[in-house]
Structure 1
Amino acid sequence: MDRNELARCLRDWRDRLSPASIGLPASSLRRAPGLRREEVAHLAGLSVDYLARLEQGRAGNPSPSVLEALARALRLTDDENTHLFHLAGHADPRISGMNRHMTPGVHRIIDRLADTPVIVLDEAWQLVAANPPATALLGDMLGEPARQRNLLWRHFTGMPSRVVATPEEDAAFERAAVADLRAAAGRHPDDGPLQALITDLRKVSPRFDQRWQSAAVARHMATRKTILHPQVGPMTLDCDVLTAEGSDLRVVVYTAEPGSSDARTLALLNTIGTQTFTTPTSWAQPFTDDAAP
């Protein structure tokens, strides 16, 4: 680990980001054009003290999940992301496992969807990021442990959900989701988090294990879901899955038919939901396991 070079790069990458690039208002009170340390720490889900120690070359080896969160918050390119992992003494996870890096291009695309609920998943159905409308729609999972931010783990272990479905709809979703996960396992046989998820799900959920043994393989692309929101009531939305080229991430966009009652309910939620956010944020909040080493 090259602590001094890592510290220098983190400071330089933070200084080059303007407040406007992450949705913050410009202010004449800023001493420098870049982001404040507190803002990057918030975006990465880290403590300010830990980020300060990293930027001063005083912290121990940051974990891969911390590095992934920093790469997303700082909007690093692929080459910069590889360099970040190298400086921290880790192999680039894209070489042996799933590529979970969010490129600046993906950030910019989703910046344009500020009024639309959007989440980002990896191919293991792990929640990587969610914008404020998605948090208002689905609930805030920022404080959840890593495993509980996996959508399939939540479903097959019976965790609370705002999605409502008939038994037939549940069964159809499970068949499609497990087939999709099996296809991902075939593409990424050496991805540790993915293989651990499958092993643990087979242990705790007989229903998952039964579906896993069916050996179906498919790619999950789109569906419709009815979501019962505690404030605005039910709405049925289209969930379209877009592939982020150059990575193993999926962008899931929730929309309603224009002019429908569902569209009006979603618009109402966007109005009241965003008012609950008291801290300025960018288009999305990253999800990470670590607040400190």
Structure 2
Amino acid sequence: MAASEFGQAVRRWRDRVSPATVGLPAGGRRRAAGLRREELALLAGISVDYVTRLEQGRADNPSPQIVEALARALRLSAEERIYLFRVAGLAVPGPETVPAYVTPSVQRLVDRLDGAAVGVFDAAWTLLMANPLYAALMGDPSEWHGIERNGVWRNLVGSGGRVRYTPEERSAFEAALVADLRATAGRYPRDQQLRRLIARLRADSERFAELWDAGVVESLRASRKIVDHPQAGAITLDCDVLSVVGDDLRVMVYTAEPGTADAERLRLLAVLGTQSLVG
């Protein structure tokens, strides 16, 4: 790996990304207009120390997941992303792997949906990026690491989320998630990371194993959901899942019916962000 070349590229691209571009407050005096190391670390979901070591050439062999996260956080073009993988000494993910690249056009789409809570997932339901309103509504995803960022694992093994379900609704939602994941596995049978995720889910969840063995294949559909926010209370929202053709991404969009109390609560969350409403 050409460590210095990799580090120089990360530093150069970090300097050109303004905080406003990625939804962060400019705040405080800055020596440069670009992102601080701690801001890049937050966006990529890695430690500040690791960003520092990468930029200084003191960290070897970043994983494909780390390189992909940095490319996404730095909003690299397709050509720049390929370059970053190559100077890291890694093969660029091919068509046999689940795509995790959020294109600049999808990023611009998310930026413009500022009145909606938006999360972008890969085809295995791992959260790739989210706008500030999604973080305010569902909880700050910067605190989720590794497998915690996968929606199937979070709902069947982890702490779940803030969406309220009846027992029947939860059962149907779990079944739909697993059926959708099975469809993804059929499209990417050689993806080793996807295989490891499925093996982990089978080991950690009897419910997942039961649903997986049922062999159902289908796509997750739109629905209306009630989100129990710890401060704002219950918010009824429409949840639409948009597919990005060609890139196999899922854009999950939560919106409220205009003129309702739910719309007011969502606007309140947009103002408050992830801060607590209590002292």
Q: TM-score, normalised to structure 1's length?
A: 0.85
Superposed CA deviations along residues 244-266 of structure 1, whole A, max 9, x for unmatched, are 34423211110111112222222
* 3-state SS in 2 of match to 1:259: coil
Task: Give the conservation status (yes or no) of the 8 Å contact 1:94–1:100.
Answer: no
* CA distance 1:27–1:235, change in 2 (3 Å): closer
Q: Distance in 2 between matches of 1:137 and 1:208?
A: 26
AA paired with 1:46?
Answer: I
Q: Which residue of structure 1 lines up, in the alignment, with residue 128 of structure 2?
A: 128
Q: Which residue of structure 1 lines up, in the alignment, with residue 171 of structure 2?
A: 171
Q: Which residue of structure 2 lines up, in the alignment, with residue 111 of structure 1?
A: 111
* 3-state SS in 2 of match to 1:94: coil
Task: Give the conservation status (yes or no) of the 8 Å contact 2:256–2:263.
Answer: yes
Q: Distance in 1 between matches of 2:179 and 2:126?
A: 16
* 3-state SS in 1 of match to 2:174: helix
Does 1:156 find its partner at 2:159? no
Matches within 5 A, 1:167-206: 167-206=167-206
Task: Give the conservation status (yes or no) of the 8 Å contact 2:139–2:274.
Answer: no
Question: 1:193 Cα deviation (Å)?
Answer: 2.3
Q: Distance in 2 between matches of 1:119 and 1:86?
A: 28
Task: Give the conservation status (yes or no) of the 8 Å contact 1:221–1:242.
Answer: no
Q: Distance in 1 between matches of 2:26 and 2:162?
A: 37
Superposed CA deviations along residues 263-286 of structure 1, whole A, max 9, x for unmatched, are 222222323335559xxxxxxxxx
Superposed CA deviations along residues 32-54 of structure 1, whole A, max 9, x for unmatched, are 44334343233223333322332
Q: Which residue of structure 2 lines up, in the alignment, with residue 289 of structure 1?
A: none
Q: Distance in 1 between matches of 2:163 and 2:149?
A: 15
Identity %: 53
* CA distance 1:29–1:176, change in 2 (3 Å): closer
Question: 1:134 Cα deviation (Å)?
Answer: 1.2
User: Which of structures 1 and 2 has the larger relative contact order (alpha carbons within 8 angstroms, sep 6+)?
Assistant: 1
AA paired with 2:170?
Answer: D
Kindly report the root-mean-square deviation, in angstroms, between the aligned alpha carbons of the 2 structures: 2.4
Q: Distance in 2 between matches of 1:27 and 1:229?
A: 28
Q: Which residue of structure 2 lines up, in the alignment, with residue 147 of structure 1?
A: 147
Q: Which residue of structure 2 lines up, in the alignment, with residue 12 of structure 1?
A: 12
* CA distance 1:93–1:55, change in 2 (3 Å): same
Q: Which residue of structure 2 lines up, in the alignment, with residue 84 of structure 1?
A: 84
* CA distance 1:70–1:228, change in 2 (3 Å): same
Task: Give the conservation status (yes or no) of the 8 Å contact 2:86–2:92.
Answer: yes
Matches within 5 A, 1:47-86: 47-86=47-86
* Farther off after superposition, 152-161 or 101-110: 152-161
Question: 1:216 Cα deviation (Å)?
Answer: 1.6
Q: Which residue of structure 1 lines up, in the alignment, with residue 263 of structure 2?
A: 263
Q: Distance in 2 between matches of 1:233 and 1:26?
A: 30
Q: Which runs of 5+ in 1 are unaligned?
A: 278-293
Q: Distance in 2 between matches of 1:25 and 1:135?
A: 15
Q: Distance in 2 between matches of 1:250 and 1:61?
A: 29
* CA distance 1:271–1:30, change in 2 (3 Å): closer
Question: 1:215 Cα deviation (Å)?
Answer: 1.7
